[in-house]
Amino acid sequence: MKQTERLQPTRTGIRRAAALLRDGALVAFPTETVYGLGADATDDTAVAKVFEAKGRPSFNPLIVHVPTLADAEAIGEIPEAAWAFLEDGWPEGLTLVAPLRADSKLSLLVTAGQRTVALRVPASPVAQDLLTAFDGPVAAPSANPSGRISPTCADHVLSGLDGRIAAVLDGGETPGGLESAILAFDEAGPIVLREGVFQVSEDLRRKTALDDGPGALPAPGMLKSHYAPQGTLRMNVTTPDPGEWFIGFGPHRNADANLSASGDLREAAANLFALLHQADKKDRIAVAPVPNTGLGRAINDRLSRAAAPRGADF
Ligand code: TXA
Ligand code: MG
């Protein structure tokens, strides 16, 4: 890829960043927590590029960033108990997990096939300007290569991702410096899934998932049997058994569907969740080998969760 553009948060820079997002390119941008690596959340290929650029080993779901509470409500059903946190507007550094609306138009890769979505309205003016100019939901993990420290300035972003993303919008240092707090809700109130910039007051705290240790964190990407289709699924199949619904990768004459006929991993990643949804109605599913390199690792990770025996969680 070409050199990453460093854009200033002027009108011209914001317009350029929004145009790149519209073209399906990746743009890093500051929020009040850390820099996010943004992609059009409705574009499968753009979202697949996020996992590829980060070298993310699994399709962990991504936080969706929108400019207003009304935009958030159009994507997820804000849980009743969450409204107490939103009385004075969306607090800084808060991400809410909400049931996903059926008509959300989000790429299935964003939610990793979950029925919930993590939503965030960033307070940072540069993030607000970008989201308003783009006029759509932006999926963004922290803008660092997988396993590295989250970036709090444009130089951090470039040191990890230069040449792998189209642009970084340079808004100086992010005030938060660490990620948002992620809250889910049940009938009894908030559950802290990840501690972060937003602090839940002591009186609202009860036993959280974190209290059970890291193994108990209900981060969806950590479940062994996660994206389980209703039927069985076999991986690394070169010759399907009679009656199996066969998902190919690369040229296959007898495939019922194909992740990517040309053997392109990015295309395969973009197609994966849609194909698994399609396969959900079949009794027996077989999937051709996918090379375990680059995005292929994430694809195989997801497939192995789909293939895992049910009840194998944790
Ligand atoms: O401050 C932040 O939150 C930054 C900025 C850019 O917004 N983003 C960030 O994203 O830290 P990331 O991808 O590094 O971490 C997001 C976390 C992951 O652990 C993921 O599993 C969790 O959010 N997550 C996303 N969607 C979820 C969902 N529907 N339910 C539960 N957890 C979810
Ligand atoms: Mg991160």
pLDDT digits (tens, 9 = 90+) for 293-307: 878 887 887 788 788
The residue whose C-alpha atom lies closest to atom 29 belonging to ligand 1 is 117
Q: What is the pTM of this model?
A: 0.81
Domains annotated for the chain, with CATH where assigned, are: 5-206 (3.90.870.10), 232-307 (no CATH)
Q: Do β-strands 94-99 and 116-120 pair in parallel, antiparallel, or remain unpaired?
A: antiparallel
Residue 211 has pLDDT above 70, yes or no: no
- Least confident stretch, 68-82, 147-161, 234-248: 147-161
CA angle 81, 85, 87 (to 5 degrees): 110
Give the torsion sign (CA, 124, 156, 45, 11). Answer: positive
Q: What is the C-alpha separation between 184 and 245, in angstroms, rounded?
A: 36
Which residues have C-beta atoms less than 6 Å from ligand 1?
31, 33-34, 36, 60-63, 95, 97, 111, 114, 116-118, 120, 140-142, 179-180, 182, 193, 219-221
Q: What percent of the chain shows pLDDT beyond 70? A: 90
Residue 35 has pLDDT above 70, yes or no: yes
- Least confident stretch, 102-116, 121-135, 197-211: 197-211
Residue 213 has pLDDT above 60, yes or no: no
- Least confident stretch, 1-5, 83-87, 209-213, 282-286: 209-213
- Going from the Cα of 238 to the center of ligand 1, the distance in angstroms, rounded, reads 36
Q: What is the C-alpha separation between 167 and 37, in angstroms, rounded?
A: 10
Q: Are 65 and 126 in contact (CB under 8 A)?
A: no
